[in-house]
Structure 1
Amino acid sequence: MNNRIALLLLAILFLASCDKEKNIEIASESFTEKELSICEGVECPEVTINYVEIIGDGEISEKINKKIKNFIFSSLLMGEDTIPTAKTIQEAATGFVEVYNADKAQFPDLAGAYFAEISVNEIYNSPEHLCFELRQYLYTGGAHGYGTTSFLNIDKKTGEELTFKEIFKNEKDFKSFAEKKFRNQQQIPSEAPITATGLWFENDKFFLPKSVGFTKDSLIFVYNQYDIASYADGQIELKIEMKEVAPFLNIQ
């Protein structure tokens, strides 16, 4: 009898544990300006947003979704504000349209309609680690638009963003390794200054972008336009095979 009770208790604890550790799922979502009431029957700047929504464990999903939406809100932020106040994608997109309408009213000869293209894609997913690629491209007047690519690495157990200190065993060691790879790609001799080919590294010191991305096979980092080179040079990307990067990583 005692054995049966013990087994029953173990089964209950196991089921409770399974219920607590729910798997999260990733769903694709999209949004355009056509969904805005402010754009009904009138010409509006194009707003195209393709993103993912996390479904499953309530607390963890909420944390990740908040980070994704904050990126979208920030991408659509216009004017002098630096911190988004929007609570929904609709609200953020409406603000973008309202700024365009105000600018068009003030400057009737505005060269072209504004537009925004934003995407959030899952590019790596393991039992412990999620990586999203975040892209945004906006045109708000002038000769050309401007876009950026960044990455968001998430600890799936907590829903929190992984910092460089959590990703790398020793950031300084990895930076030295990455510089060698970067110099090789850009054909900059090891004995030459990192700025020898005209790149913009302050004080001739190599630095990593603010975020790095992961795929199944590679680590990726991207310098956006104006980070280390002119707009005309475009984004500068470096991929390093995962088997070479693995010794520097804290994460699997």
Structure 2
Amino acid sequence: MYYKITVAVFIALICVGCNQEKNIEISSESFTEKELKICENSKCPEVTINYVEVFGDKAVSEKINQKIKNFIFNSLLLGEDTVPTATTIQEAATEFIEAYKADKAEFPDMAGEYFAEISVNEIYNTEEHMCFEMRQYLYTGGAHGYGTTTFLNVNPQTGEELTSAALFNNRKEFTAFAEKKFRKQQEIAEDQGINDTKFWFKNEKFYLPESVGFTQDSLIFIYNQYDIASYADGPIELKIAIKDAESFLSID
């Protein structure tokens, strides 16, 4: 009997140790074009990147860090390529600057220099759920720049992304609930078409952005410029209190 208890305690201690190893820490990092050799002796467009890096369990942190880096790589991607080839932030920034220099050489009278501002911040963190806010704003010619805000939700125990299916019990029911909140916020009557004012939802049917942000007390949905309205309308934010959405959530 004593042997069985000892074994059980030993196994429990191992499990606790495993869980402790899964704990991860977050560090704030930054990068600018000034760190690149290509910019040592020539003027470069501004590239400012503020992001977080995850440390701790190697397998978990690598998964999360790669997701963050992929966002940065995609944000800096210009030209016809749709899949980044860069494997480091330095490479991605260098390719962005080289694309600018090539465009400038082809169009010397091009007004304005390119620039890129990218940020990734942790905005929510529990044992089972981490949320990162991911912003990017680029100017690559034309009348104005363009920016987006999206969110990344991950399980800090595994490093895997938490999808809508994992976050919500019933996305369809929650969308109907969110539409009522949206209509109230935008002063759209229930008997009005969702596009009767300034919006242009596809097929005139309300839908939520693909990603959702979590804070301690709210869910955040952001429609970026051109998603459902004109550029001049700017990003459109819908906030829903956690306490109002609890029954729809499948996580604590």
Confirm or deny a common fold (TM above 0.5): yes
CA distance in 1, matches of 2:218, 2:27: 24
Matching residue's letter, 1:17: C
Match of 2:203 in 1: 203
Written as runs of structure 1 = structure 2, the 5 A alignment for 1:65-80 is 65-80=65-80
Written as runs of structure 1 = structure 2, the 5 A alignment for 1:1-252 is 3=2, 9-10=7-8, 12-21=10-19, 22=21, 23-252=23-252
Q: How big is the shift at 1:10?
A: 4.6
Matching residue's letter, 1:16: I
Q: How big is the shift at 1:17?
A: 2.4
Q: How big is the shift at 1:215?
A: 0.2
Q: How big is the shift at 1:54?
A: 0.6
User: Which deviations, in whole Å up to 9, do the C-alpha atoms of 1:8-48 show, x marking residues without a partner?
Assistant: 54554344323322111111111100111111121000000
Q: Matched residue pairs, number?
A: 250
Matching residue's letter, 1:206: F
Q: Percent identity?
A: 66
CA distance in 2, matches of 1:28, 1:51: 6
CA distance in 2, matches of 1:83, 1:71: 11
How big is the alpha-carbon RMSD for the aligned residues of Structure 1 and Structure 2?
A: 1.3
SS of 1:193's partner is coil
CA distance in 1, matches of 2:158, 2:215: 21
CA distance in 1, matches of 2:5, 2:164: 44
Matching residue's letter, 1:237: E
User: Which deviations, in whole Å up to 9, do the C-alpha atoms of 1:197-231 show, x marking residues without a partner?
Assistant: 12011221001101010000100000000000000
SS of 2:240's partner is strand
Using the size of structure 2 for normalisation, the TM-score is 0.96
CA distance in 2, matches of 1:14, 1:168: 32
SS of 1:16's partner is helix
Gapped regions of structure 1 (runs ≥ 5): none
CA distance in 2, matches of 1:196, 1:228: 12
Using the size of structure 1 for normalisation, the TM-score is 0.96
